[in-house]
Structure 1
Amino acid sequence: MGLQQRVMEQLKLAMKAKDSVALESLRAIKSALLVASTSGGGEVTEDDEIQIVQKLVKQRKDSAAIFIEQGRQDLADPELAQIAVIEQFLPEQLTEEEVEKVVVQTIDATGASGMKDMGKVMGIVSKELAGQADGKLISTIVKKKLA
């Protein structure tokens, strides 16, 4: 079952349960997928769907961080609740240790030796772990290993 069908099923359940947080989150996913399919001209692939969902999660994490920084927990809580709903549609996320293992393997395989090789390592690791790890986590680990 594709992402759009799963979202539609969850949307129906959320409507029946009158779950406003889930409804808002699922409608955001549905809207983003619809925009991508109509503007891209081509078929939306599974990789595209994962990137769209990751982008929605990142937007909400950024918003929540800003709200928390400004002392507005009342605005951060709905964002955090939406993250929990949206993340259900992402593949299983890898632990920091698993990501670190892939980064070390990539550094060894490419012969990267310093920060000048960060872009090359990031590109390979990001492609390999698409949808399974946050880009910020990958970047942090790559910097730590190349420094």
Structure 2
Amino acid sequence: MDLFERVSEDIKNAMKAKDKVALDTLRNVKKFFLEAKTAPGANDTLTDADALKIMQKLVKQGKDSATIYVQQGRQDLADAELAQVNVIEAYLPKQMSAEELEVELKTIIAQVGATSAKDMGKVMGTASKALAGKAEGRLISDIVKRLLN
């Protein structure tokens, strides 16, 4: 069962369980999936890799929104965003810890032969592909900068 089918099935389960947060969140996710499937050039298909990218983007947006809500003193809205983020994160692969990520990045830096901050682009290109879905791009970038300096 691919991710699209799993989300569709979980929408039915959320309806039966009367879980409003999960239902609203999964319907929103499915909307983005359908938009991606019907986009020009998509040939009415959505790979799991593309679906994961969409879900990661939604998680990042949700976390950013929650941060803004907290800064504006709207904890109620932040809690709602974070509840939706938790629903989506259940579908994502386990994220690497900073320590695990640093070990992987040291290996990638050695493979690429990077020695200074000038090689950041080469490292990021390889790291982004190798660690897709396992770590946030911003965290990867921060650790690579620290390791190359």
TM-score by length of 2: 0.93
In structure 1, what residue type is equivalent to 2:16? Answer: K
Aligned pair count reads: 147
Partner of 2:62: 60
Partner of 2:141: 139
Partner of 1:15: 15
Once the two structures are TM-superposed, the CA of residue 118 in structure 1 deviates from its matched residue by 1.2
* Structure 2 stretches lacking a partner, 5+ long: none
Once the two structures are TM-superposed, the CA of residue 121 in structure 1 deviates from its matched residue by 0.8
Partner of 1:75: 77
Local SS of the residue matching 2:38: helix
Partner of 2:88: 86
Local SS of the residue matching 2:90: helix
Partner of 1:36: 36
Extract structure 1 runs of 4+ deviating beyond 3 A.
none
Once the two structures are TM-superposed, the CA of residue 145 in structure 1 deviates from its matched residue by 0.6
Partner of 1:2: 2
Once the two structures are TM-superposed, the CA of residue 128 in structure 1 deviates from its matched residue by 0.3
Which stretch of structure 1 is more off in the superposition, 52-61 or 40-49?
40-49
In structure 1, what residue type is equivalent to 2:114? Answer: A
Once the two structures are TM-superposed, the CA of residue 73 in structure 1 deviates from its matched residue by 0.8
Once the two structures are TM-superposed, the CA of residue 107 in structure 1 deviates from its matched residue by 0.9
Once the two structures are TM-superposed, the CA of residue 140 in structure 1 deviates from its matched residue by 1.4
Q: Greater RCO between the two (CA within 8 Å, min separation 6)? A: 1
In structure 1, what residue type is equivalent to 2:118? Answer: K
In 2, Cα distance between equivalents of 1:140 and 1:26: 31
1:111 to 108, 113, 116: 113
Partner of 1:126: 128
Local SS of the residue matching 1:89: coil
* Structure 1 stretches lacking a partner, 5+ long: none
TM-score by length of 1: 0.94
